[in-house]
Chains A and B, each alone.
Chain A
């Protein structure tokens, strides 16, 4: 492909016959091009959403389709908002969400800051760190249950190798106290690279001359860090938090493989609870109402957050 573009354009000028048919109008082409995508999204995203809204006002059960469907008003919503199981699962989700974000931001930013020192081979090591987040959470989560085995598991062995104690003395997945942390650990292992990559893009977007000017003004390194680095990276960091927040609010695959929501319901995140209601207890109407509540919550929180993000960007 050594030809330049004008060369190619000149060579490929079509014969006169083609000129007669000037083709469709731009407007028609626009609709032909966008149409299929919109149709697909309407059919597989919007139509189901509307259906879910409709179902949420009924007592429909998907495993008993011959039973008459009754509209029961907002009773599903009332029951959800007063259901203690739902609140427990929201608490579990909040715990998971908050701690994964705290760890991922701290470790991710630190790593990005270190990588930005441009040591030799930083490119290769960045790629290695990124590997876990590209992999299938279900498959990797399933294997982590092996690492977490008391006694034979590598995780317990390594921990007790450094701290002493008995590797079969604690159960990461089986104990009520540790299970919520075991899912935080795996999610942090998997997704810290994501925060790191976005922070790295932020750090690289800061032009050198700002630091040079600060250096001339004799600002200390520490001062430069807090008055230049942090504020300039903040919009990027907030973006990373937004993406992680939405993803972890929906979290299903990794945790379902790790703990399945247990022990008891200590790690039963919102999505796992929803799956149980919808596909095990078959309370379709009830779980549709829960799905709508979750969707509205994510959407609401995300839009408030985006407003805040835009304010930070404007500064």
Chain B
């Protein structure tokens, strides 16, 4: 190892490491608590003092995916033995499974709207970003700023006319309506980021292809697209995470068919506000994919969350 006067001393490293790890562990507690609560029984989840050690149970997950009705002990005795573990858990509470809950449906809505809008934002965004990067477009800077500034509006402010517009067009509470809306919000980020990535690809590559007789279009998808693949992928993740997490538009513009998971999960709590394990189970299923993405893609994080303003 070469000697450097700017290299921190081992002691400085040890102290800073300890402090940062302490902060990281504290910051992780709420997330760990969500995970742990998902595997508690309802009485365990609201016991005092809060239980750190407990017997894990799948009751939260069973409650998340089912609706249940209470039956009398006599009726319960008359039933045939439980067919699976879910029924057994539910019967211990003097209830029977009445049917599936809406969680699966809401989760699928999140998946459809998330992936649909991400695909559309990336498709349109890549085309626009390429054009902004390579061609002379009149008022390009103003257009780019305009695209970015649409992100500054409070969602509720835009929601009023969109609510009216969607009502007239029959788009309220539809997948298509939400996909278009999220695409419109995401495309500013997508164009801005993707332009940065495409700017970094040397023009010479395409020019060589053009001289070889490619059309512009062929040069675009055979030369530029493969080079921009990493940038496109990390932009896609950001669009997906935004659409996945979005709440304001979802709660105002959807109620049944197209409702996504974020407005739904808080309503799981049920009568009396006692079913925290089911809420936690829903939150765990919903949040875990994002956490995994974050860990896998940590190298590409910075540029996305800073709107491309900070480059490595």
Contact = CB atoms under 8 A, between A and B. Distances in A.
B290 A9 contact: no
A41 B188 CA distance: 9
Task: Report, as a range, how many residues of chain A touch the other chain.
Answer: 35 or more
A197 B29 CA distance: 21
A49 B156 CA distance: 11
Which applies to chain B's interface (DSSP): helix, strand, loop or mixed? Answer: helix
A48 B162 contact: yes
B16 A119 contact: yes
A135 interface: yes
Interface residues of B, number: 110
A134 B152 contact: no
A119 B17 contact: yes
B187 interface: yes
A95 interface: no
B4 A208 contact: yes
Contacts of A23: 215-218
A41 B150 contact: yes
Contact of A152 (B48, B131, B245, B290): B48
Interface stretch (B53-61, B64-72, B93-101, B298-306): B298-306
B247 to A, nearest CB: 4
Interface in B1-18: 4-8, 12-14, 16-17
B310 A139 contact: no
Interface string B197-230: 0000000010011001111111000110001000
Given A119-B20, A208-B6, A274-B156, A13 B212 contact: yes
A64 interface: no
Contact of A114 (B20, B160, B261): B20
Contact of B5 (A44, A121, A212): A212
Nearest to B206: A9
A76 B162 CA distance: 20
Nearest to A21: B215
A90 interface: no
A134 B181 contact: no
Contact of A40 (B180, B217, B290): B180
A162 to B, nearest CB: 12
A203 to B, nearest CB: 12
Interface of B: 4-8, 12-14, 16-17, 19-21, 23-24, 27-31, 33-34, 37, 46-50, 124-125, 127-128, 130-132, 135-137, 143, 146-147, 149-150, 152-165, 180-181, 183-184, 187-188, 191, 205, 208-209, 212-218, 222-223, 227, 241, 244-245, 247-248, 251-252, 261-263, 265-266, 276, 279-280, 282-283, 286-287, 290-291, 293-295, 298, 301-302, 305-307, 309-310, 312
17 contacts: A31-B131, A41-B184, A44-B162, A114-B19, A127-B294, A130-B298, A136-B245, A143-B279, A157-B49, A243-B307, A270-B154, A275-B156, A279-B159, A284-B164, A288-B161, A295-B153, A298-B153
